[in-house]
């Protein structure tokens, strides 16, 4: 069995590049080209989120404390890292993937709950189930629902969730302070934060499907373009769920070595690229909002 290296240098180098580009974006570039700076900062926020995902899975160091210290600054402002970590690791219980109650990242509704919703809310959620809707309204719907649920948990006495938000405030305050002193206006940075969530919704849009077999619930998107890069190859999602401890830069080689196995493993839940997903699902839902395998 291959021993994990003490330091995964590609991840550490990418973290350094991410912070460097972020700083350049809010300072030197923003001073001469705000639109270009906003585009760069948005991409760095997406990349930082992907690097946080690497950190919670044990990269680039063997030390959890060191990994979390590296991604501590809340560049994205909105989602507490600790809550992301805890809900995402709960999401990795493959047997519970897509369950509206037990999978924290599920976008499905219990059919009984869905049928009881008012028509306007069902229409909003149906729009959110297209790729265009997920990108435009998804950050507001998904993040808003997440925050409201955390408020409910805090009001019910969940100290762990409260602590996560307090730490998030400590992590976000210096980011806001640095941006406030930089050449980028805070309003522009807030737009970047929303745009980053929008781009991240492209990745999560069809990562999972409802299926009787847990092994066949995770997608493979065989893309090698810029989105695959800033998502750190998490488009090979079935491979990631089968081997969550494998580093981002090792996933493509693992997939290529065992491509036929993984495509059998996930039941052929496959797309050739992100452009193919835009073509198929920009205005068309990939499946119903109501979980198709639960009784009505």
Q: pLDDT tens digit string along 224-261?
A: 999 999 999 999 999 999 999 999 999 999 999 999 99
Q: Is 273 exposed, middle or buried (0-12, 13-18, 19+ CB in 10 A)?
A: middle
Tell me the pTM. Answer: 0.95
Mean pLDDT calculated for residue range 193-211: 96
Q: How far apart are the C-alpha atoms of 40 and 52, rounded to whole Å?
A: 18
Cα–Cα nearest to 221, from 238, 241, 197: 238
- With contact defined as beta carbons under 8 Å apart, do 172 and 77 qualify? yes
The predicted pLDDT at position 3 comes to 61
The predicted pLDDT at position 230 comes to 97
Mean pLDDT calculated for residue range 118-123: 96
Going from N- to C-terminal start, the domains of the chain cover: 9-281
- With contact defined as beta carbons under 8 Å apart, do 234 and 240 qualify? yes
The predicted pLDDT at position 1 comes to 41
pLDDT-based confidence at 296, cuts 50/70/90?
Answer: confident
Mean pLDDT calculated for residue range 257-273: 96
Q: How far apart are the C-alpha atoms of 161 and 83, rounded to whole Å?
A: 7
Calculate the average pLDDT of the chain: 95
- With contact defined as beta carbons under 8 Å apart, do 183 and 27 qualify? yes
**Rounded-to-10 torsion of CA 84, 86, 88, 93:** -170
The predicted pLDDT at position 286 comes to 86
How many other CB atoms are there within 10 angstroms of residue 41's CB atom?
28
The predicted pLDDT at position 278 comes to 97
Cα–Cα nearest to 192, from 177, 204, 202, 179: 179
- With contact defined as beta carbons under 8 Å apart, do 172 and 74 qualify? yes
């Amino acid at each position: 069995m291959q021993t994990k290296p003490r330091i995964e240098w590609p991840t550490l180098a990418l973290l350094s590049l991410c912070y460097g580009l972020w700083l350049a974006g809010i300072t030197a570039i923003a001073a001469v080209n705000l639109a270009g700076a906003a585009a760069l900062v948005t991409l760095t926020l997406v990349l930082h989120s992907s690097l946080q995902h690497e950190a919670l899975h044990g990269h680039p160091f063997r030390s959890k404390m060191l990994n979390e210290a590296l991604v501590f600054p809340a560049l994205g402002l909105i989602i507490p890292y600790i809550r992301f970590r805890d809900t995402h690791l709960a999401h990795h219980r493959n047997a519970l993937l897509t369950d509206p109650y037990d999978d924290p990242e599920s976008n499905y509704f219990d059919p009984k709950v869905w049928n009881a919703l008012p028509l306007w809310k069902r229409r909003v959620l149906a729009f959110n189930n297209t790729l265009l809707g997920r990108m435009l309204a998804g950050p507001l719907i998904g993040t808003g629902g997440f925050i409201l649920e955390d408020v409910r948990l805090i009001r019910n006495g969940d100290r762990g969730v409260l602590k996560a938000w307090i730490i998030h405030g400590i992590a976000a305050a210096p980011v806001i302070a640095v941006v406030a002193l930089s050449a980028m206006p805070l309003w522009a940075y807030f737009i970047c934060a929303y745009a980053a969530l929008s781009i991240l919704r492209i990745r999560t849009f069809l990562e999972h499907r409802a299926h009787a077999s847990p092994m066949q619930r995770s997608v493979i998107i065989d893309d090698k373009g810029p989105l695959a890069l800033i998502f750190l190859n998490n488009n090979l999602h079935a491979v990631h769920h089968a081997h969550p401890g494998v580093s981002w830069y090792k996933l493509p080689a693992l997939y290529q070595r065992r491509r036929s196995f993984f495509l059998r493993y996930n039941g052929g839940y496959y797309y050739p690229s992100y452009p193919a997903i835009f073509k198929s699902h920009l205005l068309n839902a990939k499946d119903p909002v109501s979980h198709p395998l639960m009784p009505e």
